[in-house]
Amino acid sequence: MAILNDFPITLSVEGAQAGGTAACNGYGGRFELVNGYLHVGELSQETALCGDPNGEVMRSESAFMQALGRITKGHGEADRMTLFGPTTQLHFRRLPPLPIADIVGRDWLLESVIDGDVVSAAIGEPATLRLEAGGTFRGSTDCRTFTGTWVEAAGRLVATQSEAAGECPGGLGGQDGAVVGSLDGSLPTIEGDRLTLTVRGGKGLVYRRATD
């Protein structure tokens, strides 16, 4: 099964509930121990196509979901976990903690937009982002403002609710879409006063911390 760098596969387990991202789409279900065997209950899954012209992402996703449904045993040690089935082994490593404390409670200004190998400077008036420790966020794309709620899930920032207000002229539509899209399952990293939000498919945003 091919694991694509830009479309990682994640698994998060809390009690009997499990879920994560299968390359592109989110999934969830129940893990139950029955007579010494691990039983994976019926899994729900999103159905977005994820901009996959060659079908590689969906093949990776399909192979993982099929393998997950055949799991009967599991073993964890230190920062590694392996799930076993009659003809299947799935190997996972623990994700490092997100730098949440360095992100929340600060104002961030959009500096650049990443699309694969192309990095473009932000345009228009400064676009902003602010996440609060209580699980809310607000900001702007330059042409629209937005608010919502967020959680940390499977090593990523995930917007659980989001609402935008305003309209965008043609020249700013691309930046607007990139900003709004980055709030749905981004991997945040901090380097100095720069915050990078990386989303699947080699896309992302770079923010600079606003001065107090």
Amino acid at residue number 90: L
Outline which parts of the chain fall under CATH 2.40.128.270: 12-93, 100-209
The whole-angstrom separation of Cα 157 and Cα 17 is 19
Is a pLDDT exceeding 90 seen at residue 33? no
The whole-angstrom separation of Cα 145 and Cα 62 is 37
Architecture of the 12-93 domain: Beta Barrel (2.40)
Q: Give residue-wise pLDDT tens across range 132-182.
A: 999 999 999 988 999 999 988 767 888 888 898 988 876 667 889 889 888
The whole-angstrom separation of Cα 163 and Cα 11 is 28
pLDDT of residue 172: 67
pTM: 0.71
Instruction: Classify domain 100-209 by CATH number.
Output: 2.40.128.270
- Which parts of the chain fold into alpha helices (H)? 56-68, 100-103, 173-182
pLDDT of residue 171: 63
CB 56 within 8 Å of CB 41: no
Phi and psi at residue 68, to the nearest 5°: -60, -35
Is a pLDDT exceeding 70 seen at residue 1? no
Helix, strand, or coil (residue 60) = helix
